[in-house]
Structure 1
Amino acid sequence: MYTIELIGRQEMAAHKRLNRDELIATALAVIDTDGLDAVTIRQVAQQHNVTPMALYRHFPDKDGLLDAVAESLLAAVELPAPDDRPWYEQLEDVLSAILTALVPHPNAAVLLLTRIFESEPGLDLAERVLAQLDAGGMDVEQSADSSCHVLVSLITLVIGKPGQSSDSTEEQEAAARVRWAQLTSLSPHRYPHVVAAAAPLSASVSAELYYRRGVELIVTGLRGLQSVSQPVAG
């Protein structure tokens, strides 16, 4: 009986010491290092020297913990204030702000696909993107559809970002030379454009250029869609 009471007191003391934000940060660190499948209530509890039961007071289950991680990522997005610039320029800044928050956490970015509307930060973000698309002349249905594609495109950019290889610089340069040799050995009659682009296709792309070009392509596509949807005068 005494042992049970002692354990209960220890659990209560541990609960008082636990900080929800710290638990979320621990879960995110595990995801960053080992991936989504690696994070569990038990593992996070062990890193804080408590039993899993102590975490269940903060999160109902693993999904609840992942919900909290997703919300923390969304809350980290620093949205720029609206201004008088064209809608597409403002949208570029919004998308860049999202990337800034997600780029350090590629393993966790996929959580947002199903959780964007589950928290206030996510709703604020969705509202801002939809407002910019509305300013671009899209109707409600077009804006909703386009915003979903934008989110998927951003997450794909983050997941596929350059520089994630564990190889050394020398190994990456050697791999680039091998790829260049392979591409330049192709038939220029059958693959003229691939052969002509062998050098840039083989070269490493800077992260800054990669993300900037990705955002530009997304917004350019939206502008093209918006112009096509506009009625022709006359």
Structure 2
Amino acid sequence: MITKERLDPDKIVDTALAIADDEGPAAISFRKLAAQHDVTPMALYRHFKDKDDLLAALGDRLLADIVLPEPTDEPWDRQLHALLTAFVTALRAHPRLADLTLTRILVAEPGLALAERALELLVEGGFSVDDAAEVGRQSICSLIALVTTDPIVREFGDPVAREASLRRKRASLGALSPERYPLITASAGSLICSPSQEQYYAVGIDLVVGGIRGVLA
């Protein structure tokens, strides 16, 4: 257990992060956190005014994990791809909390740095400042959704239960009439879950960047 003398906001966030990764953010409570730190719940209120304040701190932690790539001489869209990949990489470490970053991007310093760099690249690519803001906002929302809807993450944590669930879903599609739904039945496995998590994210980011280029065109 951690004693009162060692209690600090970072340690509280660490514990809340571990709980949320295992059970989801709904499982976080001041009572549970206090028990793990061997303090009273009131001790936590010295650092966080309520659960929403704590969840905001969790969102900030995810944003702080973004490793922004340095500017290069590559075309703007390739640099944007690298930037968005860095964002997604940080979120993938804590997929159940990815949506907590949405309201913190324009508040926390790491989020502001991400937003400013994205806008710079979009303006460099040819967007007006206002259009860059709209494109950037929707792109970030799409990438957050990409992480939160990861079909592998959304399945059961237990590998055996997850595979059983996926088999049932594949069998359900596979039982459809191949005469009426030839492509659905042929691709049942891939429709239910991407063959590779890396491919899932690579295609998702490519679609976002490709869409941005298409809007510009």
Q: Bin the TM-score by the shorter chain.
A: 0.7 to 0.9
**What are the ranges of 5 or more consecutive residues in structure 1 without an aligned counterpart?**
1-13, 228-234
- Counterpart CA distance in 1 for 2:160 and 2:201 is 21
Match of residue 208 from structure 1: 198
Q: Percent identity?
A: 44
Amino acid at match of 2:51: K
Match of residue 191 from structure 1: 181
- Counterpart CA distance in 1 for 2:5 and 2:133 is 43
Asked which structure has the greater CA Rg, the reply is 1
Whether the aligned pair in 1 keeps the contact of 2:66 and 2:89 (CA below 8 Å) is yes
SS of equivalent residue, structure 2 residue 102: helix
- Counterpart CA distance in 2 for 1:172 and 1:162 is 12
Match of residue 128 from structure 2: 139
Whether the aligned pair in 1 keeps the contact of 2:194 and 2:200 (CA below 8 Å) is no
- Counterpart CA distance in 1 for 2:38 and 2:165 is 45
Match of residue 221 from structure 1: 211
Q: CA deviation at 1:175?
A: 4.1
Q: CA deviation at 1:144?
A: 1.1
Match of residue 179 from structure 1: 170
Q: CA deviation at 1:115?
A: 1.9
Q: TM-score, normalised by structure 1?
A: 0.81
1:40 equivalenced with 2:29 (yes/no): yes
- Counterpart CA distance in 2 for 1:100 and 1:185 is 37
Match of residue 38 from structure 2: 49
Task: Name the stretch that deviates more: 54-63 or 92-101.
Answer: 54-63
Q: CA deviation at 1:31?
A: 1.1
* Root mean square deviation of aligned Cα: 2.5
Whether the aligned pair in 2 keeps the contact of 1:176 and 1:203 (CA below 8 Å) is no
Q: CA deviation at 1:201?
A: 3.0
Whether the aligned pair in 2 keeps the contact of 1:45 and 1:55 (CA below 8 Å) is yes
Task: Name the stretch that deviates more: 60-69 or 178-187.
Answer: 178-187
**In the TM superposition, what are the counterparts of 1:87-106 in structure 2 within 5 Å?**
87-106=76-95
Q: TM-score, normalised by structure 2?
A: 0.87
Deviations 1:162-191 (A, max 9, x none): 433335459727844862673464253x43
**What are the ranges of 5 or more consecutive residues in structure 2 without an aligned counterpart?**
none
Q: CA deviation at 1:19?
A: 2.5
1:124 equivalenced with 2:113 (yes/no): yes
- Counterpart CA distance in 2 for 1:36 and 1:210 is 24
Aligned residues: 214
Q: CA deviation at 1:194?
A: 2.7
